[in-house]
Amino acid sequence: MRNKSLVSEAREIRLAIELINLGARLQLLELETSLSRERLLKLYKELKGVSPPKGMLPFSTDWFITWQPNIHSSLFINIHRYLIEHAQVSGIEAVMKAYQLYLEQMPPADGEEPVLSLTRAWTLIRFFDSKMLTTAACRECGGHFVAHSLDLHDGYACGLCHMPSRAGKTRKARDDIAALASA
């Protein structure tokens, strides 16, 4: 039988609750807490009222490079870097605080999910730590945006300065415009 501190277990449960409330997937919870899978499942079901989603975690860097996800990922990574450098936080605490600040700046529309989920934000940090992704400075606005580490970054132009021709032409955008026109 292991000796477990009640205080450390309470900290782990608090951390798991905060992560679940931010939208963490079970795999993230298992890696960031020392709680058993069974305890995490019970906790998730108690908080959310449903079983956690199944399936693999995101594993491709390409998602972070596409137009809209790149803008959101870049905002998040810059917030995260600022917190690491200036707020003396690190690890999962830095990810959580940066994600909360990201959500304050980019709140999802009613009934919508945020573009960048907590799990993707956590994965983004892992890609940066493994040097698969980096940031590149835009030659026009000077902002730092997520880019592949092995790409050439001279003359980089971000997705805000050079929007793709199809940007904003989603079904939702068409429906919103149609709703405004009929009102």
Type of residue at 2: R
CA distances from 176 to 16, 68, 112, 115, 183 (A): 37, 18, 14, 18, 11
What is the amino acid identity at position 136?
A
Percent of residues, the chain, with pLDDT higher than 70: 89
Q: Tens of pLDDT along 53-73?
A: 887 777 889 999 999 999 999
With beta carbons less than 8 A apart as the criterion, state whether 159 and 67 touch.
yes
- 155 Cβ contact partners less than 8 Å away, ≥ 6 residues apart: 139
Give ∠ CA 88-114-77 in degrees, rounded to 5. 35
End-to-end CA distance of the chain: 67
What pLDDT digit, counting tens, does each position of 87-115 carry? 999 999 999 999 999 999 999 988 899 99
Instruction: For residue range 3-49, list pLDDT tens digits in order.
Output: 678 888 899 999 999 999 999 999 999 999 999 999 999 999 999 99
pLDDT tops 70 at residue 178: no
In this structure, what token pair is assigned to residue 6? 């009640």
DSSP single-letter state for residue 139: T
Q: Whole-prediction pTM value? A: 0.85
- What angle do helix axes 67-86 and 91-105 make, rounded to 10 degrees? 130
